[in-house]
Amino acid sequence: MKLKSLAARLAFTFAAATAAATPAWAADWVVGANIGNVPWEFQDASGKFVGFEIDLVNEVAKRAGKTVQIENIPFNGLFPAVQSNRIQIAISSITITPKRLESLAFAQPYYDSDQSLAVLKTASINKLEDLGGKTVGVDTASTGDIYATENTAKLKIAKISRYEGLAPAMLDLAAGRIDGYISDIPAVEYYIKDKPQYRIASRIPTAERYSFMFSKTFADAGKINDILTTLKKEGFISATHKKWFGTTPPDTSSTVKVMPVPKL
């Protein structure tokens, strides 16, 4: 009896150790997202990840018969994470650009956007040309960063301060540590809608489009694109836009219209 009990205890200990060493659950798709990128991907009051792209990637995964794990990664870290296969998909209002298409792949776009210059309501900045001698905040490696860097001399920007997300940049703007913040207009509009101390001084036309980003060898790329086509035709993405932005997107936008897969 004692020998059996000992053997049972040893078997239980081995099983427990094995279970502890083995992940309890491994998702089919690990999705990287810069959590805090409101309203694309952020945490609600309960700590749950929510947002436009969270809804979209979860629906795509459901239709593909895949499980999803969302991993919080700073925006600048999403690119090497995809290239190293640490994650399979990256989301975070990622703009499709020719430079990014050189080493990465995108599904068809699902959102049209521009950049914006946000300032304090009391600031004397009313247009881009007023940034001479000023400090401008941007998100590291974002299209706002690219725009500010390329136009530093033209706009006579004194300094560019780089951030890992909108919230810390806007807090620094409120504190006077930066004079303006260049970033995606939908995220800024959503953030400031209940914060009257801020305003958008200028919309910067950049004709950007967002989509899922993955490696060029990602096996499920075609499947994802086909599902996005279906979701557009069914009106799911348009309804999700209405849910998070409060407006129905125009029929000519990539949120509604089926688009080709981006290529160089």
Query: For 229-259, how does the pLDDT look when each residue is reduced to its tens digit (9 = 90+)?
Result: 999 999 999 999 999 988 899 899 999 999 9
Separation of alpha carbons 262 and 227, rounded Å = 16
pTM for this structure? Answer: 0.81
Same domain flag for 73 and 151: no
The mean-pLDDT minimum among 93-102, 213-222, 247-256 falls in: 247-256
**Domain of 231?**
29-110+211-245
Which tokens in the block code for residue 224?
């994802």
Burial 92-124 (b: 16+ CB within 10 A, else e): bbbbbeeebeeebbbbbbbbbbebbbbbbeebe
Same domain, 193 and 120: yes
Average pLDDT, the chain: 91
Same-domain pairing of 120 and 186: yes
Asked whether residue 71 falls in the same domain as residue 201, the answer is no
Buried b (16+ CB within 10 A) or exposed e, 129-162: ebbeebbbbbbebbbbbbbbeebeeebebeebbb
> Are 102 and 59 members of one domain?
yes
The answer as to whether 229 is a domain residue is yes
Instruction: Establish if 22 belongs to a structural domain.
Output: no
Name, in order, each residue with C-beta under 8 angstroms of 165's C-beta and a sequence gap of 6 or more: 34, 36, 37, 74, 75, 139
